[in-house]
Amino acid sequence: MAYLIDGNNLMGQADPYFMFDRSSRSKLIGKLLIFQKITRSRIFLVFDGKPPDNDHLFKLNPKFTILFPQPGQSADQLIEDLLTQKKDRRYFLVVSSDRGVREIARARGARSMSSLEFLKDLKEVLKDSRKDRELIKQTENPTPLEISLWDELFSKK
């Protein structure tokens, strides 16, 4: 499955004060990288505005791409253009709370979900992953020195 995500829209749902926090974008990307690794999905993340270093396309890994619209183009238009370019849109899930974007996705044959619904899924996947890592943690047997120190500590009255 491939996710085509309206980044600013998702950040706005996750944190209403994201415009005042410069690290919001990085935090979102970090969470999505973990999500992408766990789900083994492809992610296209589209942000509004001017890209850093004037580079409109960043490939973080072969399955994670960050895109910025060209000057004079909106993120919504870029999402529509990406859907138009793709051949098999059934495997795309467009994430946006913008009804217009979701309607365009459905009209092009892609599935869609609101940013709020996706945030719930994202939190659940990250939470389950954390639980799984806790179960996998290695337990270390205490060394003879540690055993003697604990024994000495608890044998004192």
When pLDDT is cut at 50, 70 and 90, the band that residue 43 belongs to is very high
pLDDT in tens, 107-144: 988 999 999 999 999 999 998 887 766 666 666 787 88
When divided into structural domains, the chain yields a total of 1
- Residues 6 or more apart whose CB falls under 8 angstroms from that of 78 comprise 46, 67, 68, 69, 70
Query: In 10 A of CB 44, how many CB atoms?
Result: 21
> Quick check: 104 and 17 in contact, CB under 8 A?
no
pLDDT, tens digit, for every residue of 62-82? Answer: 999 999 998 888 899 999 999
Please tell me what DSSP assigns to residue 89: G
Q: Which two tokens stand for residue 116?
A: 């709020």
Instruction: Name the DSSP class of 18.
Output: G
Task: Specify the pTM.
Answer: 0.77
Tell me the average pLDDT of the chain. 85
The CA distance from 107 to 92, in Å, is: 13
pLDDT at residue number 14: 82
Residue-level pLDDT at 78:
92
Spatial separation of the C-alpha atoms in residues 139 and 130, rounded to whole Å: 17
| pLDDT tens readout for residues 6-38 | 998 998 888 777 766 667 888 889 999 999 999
Which CATH number characterizes residue 13's domain? Answer: 3.40.50
Residue 25: domain span: 2-155
Give the Cα separation of 80 and 2 in Å (integer).
15
